[in-house]
Amino acid sequence: MRIFPKWAPVCLLSVVSCLLCAVAARAIDCDTLPARPPIEFDSLHVFQFSGGANCWGYTAPDGTPYALMGATDGIGVVNVKTMHVVGLVPMQQCVWRELKTYRHYCYAVSECNADPNPGMMIIDLQYLPDSTHLVGTWTIPGPNKSHCISIDTAKGYCYLVRNYTGFHIISLANPESPLLVNAVTTPDMHDMTAFGDTVYVAEGNAHSFSIWNVANKAAPVMLARVTIPGGGYVHNIWPTPDRRYLVTTEETAYKTVKFWNRENLNSIQLVAEYLGPSNLAHNAHVEGHYLYLSHYESGISVLDISTPECPVEVKRFDTYELGDFPQFEGCWGVYPHTAGSGYVYASNLDGRLYIFHTDIVTSDFQGSPRVGTAPLTVNFTDASPQSQSWRWYFGDGDTTVLENPSHVYSAGLYDVELRITSPQGTGTEFKPNYVTALAETLKVADTALGQSATAYWEIRAKNNVPIAEIKLPVRLGNVPALATFDSISTVGCRTNYFELQQIVYDNRPAGQEAIRLKADNGGGSPPLPPGDGPIARVYLTIQPNAAPNGQIALSLPPMGSHTLLATTLTTTYVPALTSGTITILSSTCLCDCHADPICDGQSDILDVSKTIDVAFRGVNPTIDINCPHAGRTDVNCSGATDIIDVINIISVAFRGADPATSFCDPCAL
């Protein structure tokens, strides 16, 4: 179970008109972001039904939008184009009703105890506006009722709350004859949202939410669970379109709507909170970069969440005129998913169905490639419906009004924003950390080693963005003919603090080993900051009979499923490698003119101590290949480290002797 990090600050709540609080998981100064103006939000019509629960929508093949109202006595259907009620599918009396659509069908459930309960009702909408048809019911296993329903329309699967203890997985391959596939158990459950074989679960009285991979319907896998400290009744959950963030609501007075960064499933982070005047939120829906909340007595709240760490309320519409208290009155449901038409539907518990129109226009764009070595040319494409004009902000100070521009980035991490106009109004799409232009290179130095030398070869990384994880499949050429591959280590490296250091492939006799390095493996360690230095050491020993002038190359090729990959907070990429080569020298050239075997740039007591360790204590003079004279304790090139070498280094360190005139051998490196 993943527990919300104790160090993350929590906003103190007070009964105020609006609470907005940001908790930074990444360094964002909300005050520096572009202003996000209020939006137009016009109430076009209000319909009265006999009590109300949730609402939903359906768009016919001819583009006609319909609003669906979960009323006390059935499902009401409104033609939004003509603003007329065109049907009511009668059902048992019930104050709770949930509904979703798939293809031209509406699926409705309730949890009322009327006998007999119809289970899940299946309504055919294809004959609208003329008629609707109840084409069947499906018996829900157990008590034959369900509180909530979600449909993954891309995959064709329905998910039903299973008596508050988990969810059913149901195939809609035959929409009029659903098929039960499996069931999942959770500690408690109120609602879920399903997209692309991922189910996000709000776990009610367990004060938690969870994320499930259901690609294998026979064996779903829980990816993460977060328990909210001091949490209320975790009511619903909805991801952002890029699936990097989640929004949760808690149907408990004075409990905030919470925004979570879920990019690292091992450490899901709370990044912001919001609460409207009534201090009681109900359901959250994300459409584009706007969050729509049904907020009980506060009505509807609309937030711009283009930067989820910094949500901004841009509109509020009060659908309940009698107060602003944390009571179960007012707005139950909101539906903004109307295919970019600008319509928004909202349902009140008193039976009112509101039809709104907003000037929010769905806008989107794509860029490719998003990651690469600088200078990086990114080609952008507007993906907004019916756009007429464009203004791009590339994040480096440059802008353009072209429809589909290209832009060249220098090294760095960049936000990108597109503002468009269309016949319906204006729209903005802001994508933070969207382009990564890398200065990253992995480098391995060229050097030379003598026969029988033991050394470590450093793999150095120069990175301009943080690295959360890196996989290094290391291959040494001419092993075992010229050398043995001893090990890979992070000792003395920038990655030494990484929590996961796992050998994932080991065939060192053939010169191959792969290591996986991950900064945060549950303990919350930060990613590797930008910088330049070693990230791994490859230890090797030159064979005593290695042929002089032989060469050993270090490369990072794929090894089975293990490939060179680096992961930032936003993306995964293959870093460039500047490889290195070791040239074999004869053993008589293991000497050096520097008298600096510890390679700190000077001869001092530490070099004397190192030489004594090698000469009299049997310590192996391990060599750092990146500093060619490191480990060279045989300074006079006699073939052995002995008292003469100790004396020579002392003479340099404390008497100012010049190695070049005192003991340096012409073959020294």
Whole-number Å distance between alpha carbons of 458 and 61? 62
Q: How far apart are CA 166 and CA 1, in angstroms?
A: 16
pLDDT band at 392 (very low <50, low <70, confident <90, very high): very high
The residues near 423 (Cβ < 8 Å, ≥ 6 apart) are 386, 388
**CA pair distance 394, 36, nearest whole angstrom:** 18
pLDDT for residue 450 is more than 90? no
Amino acid identity of residue 480, one-letter, is P
Percentage above 70 pLDDT, the chain: 90
How many CB atoms neighbour CB 452 within 10 A?
13
Q: Mean pLDDT, to the nearest integer, of 153-157?
A: 91
Q: pLDDT band at 422, cuts 50/70/90?
A: confident
Q: Provide the pLDDT for residue 432.
A: 72
Task: Name the DSSP class of 35.
Answer: P
Q: Report d(CA 640, CA 105) in Å as an integer.
A: 86
Give the predicted TM-score (pTM) of the model.
Answer: 0.61
Task: Give the model confidence (pLDDT) of 237-261 as tens digits.
Answer: 999 987 889 999 999 999 999 999 9
DSSP assignments along 520-549, one per residue:
-SSS-PPPBPSEEEEEEEEEEEE-TTPPTT
* Cα torsion 193, 196, 199, 202: sign: negative
149-152/157-161 β-pairing: antiparallel
pLDDT at position 640 is 75
Mean pLDDT of 67-91: 96
Instruction: Kindly state the average pLDDT of the residues 455-481.
Output: 92
Is 15 a residue whose pLDDT tops 60? no
Q: What are the tokens at 96?
A: 């709770």
* 571 or 10: which leads in pLDDT: 571
Measured at the alpha carbon of residue 276, what is the angle toward residues 270 and 278, in degrees to the nearest 5? 130
pLDDT at 26 over 70: no
- When pLDDT is cut at 50, 70 and 90, the band that residue 371 belongs to is confident
**pLDDT averaged over the chain?**
87
Task: Report pLDDT for 2.
Answer: 26
pLDDT at residue number 403: 96
Report yes or no: 110 and 96 within 8 Å, Cβ to Cβ: yes
Q: What tens digit of pLDDT does each residue of 587-622 get?
A: 544 455 668 787 777 888 988 998 898 888 877 776
pLDDT of residue 477: 94
pLDDT at 607: 85
Task: Give the residue with greater pLDDT, 92 vs 571.
Answer: 92
Q: Residue 23: is its pLDDT beyond 60?
A: no
Q: Which two tokens stand for residue 443?
A: 């480098």
Average confidence (pLDDT) over 651-661? 79
Checking if the pLDDT of 11 tops 90, the result is no
Which pLDDT score, from 0 to 100, does residue 664 have? 58
Angstrom CA distances, 242 to 256, 263, 311, 430, stand at: 23, 10, 16, 12
Give the Cβ contact number of residue 323 at 10 Å: 12
User: With 80 as the cut, is the pLDDT of residue 338 above it?
Assistant: yes
Mean pLDDT value of segment 204-232:
95
Measured CA to CA, the distance from residue 136 to residue 172 in angstroms comes to 13
pLDDT at res. 669: 37
Lowest mean pLDDT across 80-84, 240-244, 347-351, 491-495: 240-244
**Position 569 pLDDT exceeds 80:** no
For 93-130, how does the pLDDT look when each residue is reduced to its tens digit (9 = 90+)?
A: 888 899 999 999 999 999 887 656 689 999 999 999 99
**CA pair distance 659, 184, nearest whole angstrom:** 75
**Residue predicted with more confidence, 220 or 633:** 220
CA distance 193 to 520: 28
Residue 453 CA to residue 105 CA, distance in Å, equals 74
Check residue 21 and give its pLDDT. Answer: 36
Q: What does the angle CA 319 – CA 148 – CA 285 come to, to the nearest 5 degrees?
A: 50
CB 436 within 8 A of CB 371: yes
Q: State mean pLDDT over 559-586.
A: 84
Enter the tokens of residue 582: 């070791």
